[in-house]
Structure 1
């Protein structure tokens, strides 16, 4: 049986999506982007991957965030994205902004990790083959490598962009001084950093306190926040303890000792404020990030279209009173 050809919603840019300019560039990104770290690899049915990707695109989410080792297993999120390109998205490639990265463990041996020129270039070639793409829109150095000379990592990004295998360069999770050096190095070679990506949420305010968020804005780079819901803490998932089928119960990237009585009280306080605003906790957590105009886009994860729909509702109210911000600061900072 021949599968029906995907026809995206004709109103995909009229469904309430907000687009924001990435720093001092010509690129505008949706306020919410779809991250494929979990739930898009080999452990997920392709039909659900396809349903979520279609739903996102139908609602103006045109930025898809991948990395070489996303899955699980490594590489399988990109492989599934390649299947999406062949079955659904090929006619709409020029409407899409597709990111991939390299910097974490990917294959055995000394050339499958960190930030060497050899690793970054080989990884991008592999990623493009898996994703069935000629180029990525942005290629990130996924993390700072303290052992490899930073000039080597950055020059690899410059040469990748000049080769046409990526249109823009990006950085993820660099410490402040390395970020400062990288912005200057890339700009001097006419390949300015388009996007700086970091973990940022109500319970992790480090991009504010460390200065990386301000530096990105001052340097003309857009800022992309990931882990906006603190891996589920900033949802209603843990308001009454630890569900048996949760990431925390299964020990997957969220430890149970995080959910102390004090943390639970903070979560419940934030949830009460969200309800007074007419939002879910997840909606308010996303809206709070987007209330800062320095934030270009927020990467959401999902295991269902219902979760994407809930996250999209955050866009309906991203304004906060000074009293609300004061209350949020008190609760989020503990």
Structure 2
């Protein structure tokens, strides 16, 4: 069987990404009537690098910062062309972020076919377990283990992840997508076993729509376990979870909404332009860069006024909209640019300006249902 990273990239090319494969990349502006208020995060909260929020667990809640470090690129060659020469730069960025208070990493068994988890394990060497927060994901595609083991598959796969991480438990364990061959009730039973066995403190899902998320909440409740997170793609150019009230539904039920690809895989950083397109393997929010020029120009003007990076403006937008961004970081420079998103807030007028050049995005039947 192909390694997890190759399966993931092949799936995205085939239509798991809402702007690739069988799906139209045509732009879809956001209807202003579908926008939530500018501030979904209460206006009396001003997150900085030391600020924390709680993820609900059964016996232990987990305190996390308002930004998560995305580790998909670490060890992944199919999408990100990772080279071992990058490790010192990743470690330097990690030390900068961790000492500042941003100590939460998101990885998965599929990222680099387990290599991302191994890299995380190296970063954790010598640290006290209280000094970092780690979440990983069960790759829930219909492979042999997931077909034959059903409810025990999450536990089996989590134990393998823990071996790569060199840890006794993770803080958060997520279902990577709604493509599992088992029913939601069966998956909930497997997640419950992960918690009851002490292998994770919190559980969550990725790419679930509102109805399936509520179904999972109800299924987990039968085991007296809360759902902590729903992680979906959300950015200035993919506001679908907001316009379809998924973010609102999460807040109403005490579920943290975590946004992946909040910078549209680099497209909202100012790094790319016509003639310097992102690699074709960067498939989330993969609109042609020339069609995003107006959006990027608005972010750039605000960034210049605030004296922060363009990335910081895009991430600050996410935070104001009630999401916790999970942003990929491969260097100290990226870490410093992204940290600039904290300690201040866009004004409601600036948020509306960004919204006026934002895109709704789409979902897919295969993967991105949320």
- For normalisation by structure 1, the TM-score amounts to 0.83
- 2:293 maps to 1:252: no
Aligned equivalent of 2:318:
289
Equivalent in 318, 325, 332 of residue 351 of structure 2: 325
Give distance in 1, aligned partners of 2:183 and 2:284. 34
Q: Is the 8 A contact 2:312 2:341 kept in 1?
A: yes
Q: Give RMSD over aligned pairs.
A: 2.6
Give distance in 2, aligned partners of 1:256 and 1:27. 30
Q: Is the 8 A contact 1:134 1:165 kept in 2?
A: yes
Give distance in 2, aligned partners of 1:59 and 1:173. 30
Higher mean C-alpha displacement, 55-64 vs 40-49: 40-49
Given the superposition, is the C-alpha separation of residues 262 and 298 from structure 1 closer, same or farther in structure 2, using an over 3 Å criterion?
closer
Equivalent in 333, 343, 357 of residue 316 of structure 1: 343
Secondary structure in structure 1 of the residue aligned to 2:340: helix
Deviation at 1:146? Answer: 6.0
Deviation at 1:116? Answer: 3.5
Give distance in 2, aligned partners of 1:221 and 1:149. 21
Superposed CA offset, 1:4-49 (max 9, x none): xxxxxxxxxxx95142323666433111111110035563333233
Given the superposition, is the C-alpha separation of residues 291 and 256 from structure 1 closer, same or farther in structure 2, using an over 3 Å criterion?
closer
Secondary structure in structure 2 of the residue aligned to 1:236: coil
Deviation at 1:114? Answer: 11
Aligned equivalent of 2:123:
84
- 2:235 maps to 1:235: no
- For normalisation by structure 2, the TM-score amounts to 0.75
Equivalent in 67, 71, 76 of residue 32 of structure 1: 67
Superposed CA offset, 1:108-153 (max 9, x none): 9522689932432221111000000001111111111364211111
Superposed CA offset, 1:143-190 (max 9, x none): 113642111111100111011011111111112111011112213321
Equivalent in 97, 102, 113 of residue 61 of structure 1: 102
Equivalent in 201, 216, 228 of residue 235 of structure 2: 201
Give distance in 2, aligned partners of 1:171 and 1:109. 18
Report how many residues are paired.
305
Secondary structure in structure 2 of the residue aligned to 1:143: coil
Give distance in 1, aligned partners of 2:269 and 2:286. 17
Superposed CA offset, 1:184-232 (max 9, x none): 2213321101122111110010111222211111111122111110001
Superposed CA offset, 1:244-292 (max 9, x none): xx6x2x3222499722543222222332233233332111001111113
Structure 1 gap ranges (5+): 1-14
Give distance in 1, aligned partners of 2:53 and 2:308. 26
Equivalent in 102, 105, 111 of residue 70 of structure 1: 111
- 2:144 maps to 1:110: yes
Give distance in 1, aligned partners of 2:215 and 2:285. 38
Give distance in 2, aligned partners of 1:43 and 1:116. 35
Equivalent in 17, 34, 48 of residue 49 of structure 2: 17
Structure 2 gap ranges (5+): 1-46, 77-81, 361-370
